[in-house]
Amino acid sequence: MTGVAVVGAQWGDEGKGKVVDWLSSRADVVVRFQGGHNAGHTLVIDGQVFKLSLLPSGIVRPGKVSILGNGVVIDPKALLEEIDRIAGQGIHVTPETLLVAENAAMIMPFHGALDRAREGAAGKEGRLGTTGRGIGPAYEDKVARRAVRICDLADPPVLADKIRRLAALHNPVLQAFGGDPLDPDAVTRDLTALADRILPFATVVWERLDTYRRAGKRILFEGAQGAMLDVDHGTYPFVTSSNTIAGNAACGSGVGPGGIGYVLGITKAYTTRVGEGPFPTEQDNAIGRELGERGNEFGTVTRRPRRCGWFDAVMVRQALKTGGIDGIVLTKLDVLDGMTELKICTAYRHRGTEIHHLPASQSAQAEVEPVYDTVEGWQDSTKGARSWAQLPATAIKYIRRIEELIEAPVAILSTSPEREDTILVLDPFAN
């Protein structure tokens, strides 16, 4: 087995960064295949904290190759700022350690301006809860076949022409929202000034990945956000603008589906969500606040407080089915330490009928009510445990109940943000 995909199985923020970093010790190549710098991963390594938004988590591992695939939308300025920031922490990124797909679309200044203008004009009821960083508008331009791509940096006439066309299209919309139009010549100059730093990283990623695969290299595909933010399978329209499930790992990087042999889903031992949208098990009360404080639930990128609630087995099971997930990583079990009683959502009730999936209708998603199992908590600490023998029996019972409800095994258990506080049950890279 040469390819393992790691994806979120909730609404993102499940702890993928630590897991990808930990698994990258077994991998040769780490590939990010969708999203942009709206996503964030926090890595804690020997007490040092690394906050990544766009770079793959494997970038902090010596001797590994990190890749930004064609499915990622790249803000070139944000990419260089992140490279410079981690250089200050002793991680030096070079064209040998980071490859960027030459056919990846870029996020232009128009996109962020449009994103923020739309959210501002939508009002409280109409907001989607975006980060305002231009991800959605960038994907819109990509699908509409007018994106500015990494390869265009090497072709100044094409670059200037594309930016003029974007200005003609987007400036009237910005002005309609009360914003200021952007000068296409200034945008072109600013982007051209970055080209010499960006282009050395650009390459034919699909070809490099094919070479790695044929050589038997272990490839780790890293997703951003989570399955319930998938533009097709998530809580639409309160979703991101890309496919977050593992099926996009192939398309977003340029490998065939056969290049992915195992899909690992990441889920917290409870549930969180950032931004707007339905959240059946949300606890907008003292319990939710306690989970947020214990789990330090603030967005890596936005620092927005995350909404918190009980574990939703219905949602995670649905994510596993649509995403082809073979096993899960259960994170933040230690956050539940000391709680006398826990709840797990086992079904929803909608207009008097019990259902076992999250419906597609926006109205129905807002109306469903969780059906709970109540289970016993544990008083002993699980924080830092590195073997099953160190876990309280009641905690193990909680884990087994989750496995039963989601119909998948726990392959890895994470008991703190630290890299080594991990219990390996099944090695995704094992043949």
H or E segment and range at residue 68:
strand 65-68
**How deeply is 428 buried, as exposed, middle or buried, from its count of CB atoms within 10 A (0-12, 13-18, 19+)?**
buried
In eight-state DSSP terms, residue 306 is P
For residue 275, how many C-alpha atoms fall within 13 Å in the half-sphere facing its CB? 26
Tokens of 295: 């789990």
Question: Is 178 strand, coil or helix?
Answer: coil
* Contact predicate 249/264, CB 8 Å: no
Alpha-carbon Rg for the chain, nearest whole angstrom, is 21
Question: Is 13 an annotated catalytic residue?
Answer: yes
Question: Is 329 strand, coil or helix?
Answer: strand
> Pairing state of beta strands 219-222 and 3-8?
parallel
In eight-state DSSP terms, residue 10 is S
Point out the catalytic residue in the list 41, 111, 170, 233: 41
Which candidate, 366, 369, 375, places its Cα nearest to that of 355? Answer: 369
How does 74-85 read in b/e, with b if 16+ C-beta sit within 10 Å? bbbbbbeebbee
**How deeply is 372 buried, as exposed, middle or buried, from its count of CB atoms within 10 A (0-12, 13-18, 19+)?**
middle
Question: Is 41 an annotated catalytic residue?
Answer: yes
Integer CA distances (angstroms), 259 to 214, 217, 252, 262, in order: 10, 11, 13, 9
> Which residues participate in catalysis according to the annotation?
13, 41
